[in-house]
Amino acid sequence: MDFEPSNRQKHIRTAAREFAEGELAPIAQDCELKEEFPKDLLKKASQLGFIGVFFKKDYGGLGLGYLEHAIILEEFWRVDPGLGQALAQAIFGSEQILLFGTEEQKKKYLPPLARGEWVCGFSITEPEAGSDPASATTSAIKDGEEYVINGNKVMISNGSTANFLLVFCLTHPDAASKSKRHSVLLVETDRSGYKADRIHGKMGVRPSDTANIYFNNVRVPKENLVGIEGNGFMQLMRFLDHSRVAVAAQGVGLAQGALEQAITYVKKRKQFGQTLSSFQVTQVKIAEMATLVETARSLACKAAWDLDRGNPNTQVSAMAKWWACNVAVRVVDEALQLHGGYGYIGDYPIERFYRAAKLLEIYEGTREIQKLAIARRILGT
Ligand SMILES: Cc1cc2nc3c(=O)[nH]c(=O)nc-3n(C[C@H](O)[C@H](O)[C@H](O)COP(=O)(O)OP(=O)(O)OC[C@H]3O[C@@H](n4cnc5c(N)ncnc54)[C@H](O)[C@@H]3O)c2cc1C
């Protein structure tokens, strides 16, 4: 066992930190207020190799692993969760193509993502199917050489900005098992019958696009099937083993950023004639926060390491996602508390971090769903 990052991983962390501090920090608050994401930021990030590091070189990536991806996401979220989210989500769902796509699909769709020219997304959630995706009813019916898609998805990242989406569709409604009824289809968003309504005024991560989307007789060629018909649910579960590790890294980054803001503040702020950092209560808080962050990072790295060894571990991915996101919520709460009223009125970035954190315990499976996944594996239920 070796806990020491490689020189390359250290270099990637330093480069991602420099990029985040130089490019994200100065515009973060403005982008949050305007709900904007400058497209050239994605281009710059991709030119430095930060987008799709785990894609093979043949598909425009660096041929590295999920651990390197996690390091980059952590550094982006440490500086700003909103822009970090927009950059992270630019390739959200691409793992479906990597894991299950044909060679043609990989060559066609992955390189423009890695170059920062295209953005994608994965649309699963529906009004009546959130934590229970196997109840999704958006249908894809075969008609000759095409599928015809009808239905409605909600809260979809990049719904109004993506060039294409992976769409979790009902293709075999009569299959006896609920987990054999769905398939994943790739839908280009310029196809006739596709509509997206952007959601404004989200609690946090406002530079990142979220939309409700509608499919009205959207036709895609049968070649747009990703993976195997009826295998969509299993493909979704494999995907979540990966994406939950990415979300865990986001949680670590947010918690680390909040911790650092708290440290800076308590060293400066004086009350009762002393800095806040001189009170033992504050010292205990900082020690607890730092320890929580360290445990979250260790678990997230372990989960990424499992993936990179070709050994996806649903239990560890779910543990990493739940724990790191819970740590983020707890640490940012204490960090804001330490800022007092100045944290609440928005004088400091901690307010933005606080609003962003809650998302981590909701998407890609709520914290309750993570615990159910963990318990199911432990108890064999
Ligand atoms: C900003 C943002 C971006 C998003 N991006 C995407 C995206 O790109 N693609 C996508 O498909 N979705 C996306 N989502 C949707 C997200 O994945 C869902 O909100 C999430 O899966 C929860 O579903 P739900 O909101 O319907 O809640 P529900 O499933 O209705 O859950 C409500 C509550 O009930 C609990 N609950 C549900 N079932 C159980 C159970 N069996 N036992 C115990 N408790 C339970 C949940 O834990 C939760 O606390 C996004 C959401 C947000 C807010």
Q: What is the pLDDT of residue 98?
A: 97
Enumerate the active-site residues: 364
* The two structure tokens encoding residue 81: 């969760």
Pocket test for ligand 1, best of 119, 131, 137 (most atoms within 8 A of CB): 131
Element holding 332 (H helix, E strand): helix 314-344
Q: What is the pLDDT of residue 254?
A: 98
> Which residue CA neighbors atom 2 of ligand 1 most closely?
155
Q: Which atom of ligand 1 is the closest one to the Cα of 89?
A: 8
Cβ-Cβ contacts under 8 Å for 298 (sequence gap 6 or more): none
Question: Would you call 50 helix, strand, or coil by DSSP?
Answer: coil
Q: What is the pLDDT of residue 323?
A: 98
CA of residue 176 to ligand 1 center, whole Å? 25
Q: Is the CB of 15 under 6 A from ligand 1?
A: no
CA of residue 14 to ligand 1 center, whole Å? 34
Judge whether 117 and 78 are in contact, CB under 8 Å. Answer: no
> Which residue CA neighbors atom 23 of ligand 1 most closely?
130
Number of C-alpha atoms within 13 angstroms, CB side, residue 314? 18
* The two structure tokens encoding residue 337: 């508390």
Q: Is the CB of 277 under 6 A from ligand 1?
A: no
Tens digits of residue pLDDT in 41-79: 999 999 999 999 999 999 999 999 999 999 999 999 999
Helices then strands, each counted (H, E), the chain: 12, 10
Judge whether 206 and 140 are in contact, CB under 8 Å. Answer: no
Q: Which atom of ligand 1 is the closest one to the Cα of 168?
A: 11
Question: Would you call 153 helix, strand, or coil by DSSP?
Answer: strand
What's the CA gap between 291 and 36, in Å, rounded? 34
> Which of 348, 157, 116 lies closest to 247, judged by CA?
157
| Low-confidence residues of the chain: pLDDT under 70 | none
* The two structure tokens encoding residue 241: 């083993």
Q: What is the pLDDT of residue 256?
A: 98
What's the CA gap between 122 and 167, in Å, rounded? 6
Judge whether 215 and 152 are in contact, CB under 8 Å. Answer: yes
Read off the amino acid at residue 370.
Answer: Q
Q: Is the CB of 60 under 6 A from ligand 1?
A: no
Q: What is the pLDDT of residue 2?
A: 85
Q: What is the end-to-end Cα distance of the chain in Å, rounded? A: 32
Q: Is the CB of 366 under 6 A from ligand 1?
A: yes
Phi, psi of 92 (to 5 degrees): -65, 125
Judge whether 81 and 353 are in contact, CB under 8 Å. Answer: yes
Q: Is the CB of 128 under 6 A from ligand 1?
A: no
Work out whether the CA dihedral 92, 93, 98, 99 comes out positive or negative.
positive
Q: What is the pLDDT of residue 1?
A: 81
Tens digits of residue pLDDT in 116-127: 999 999 999 999
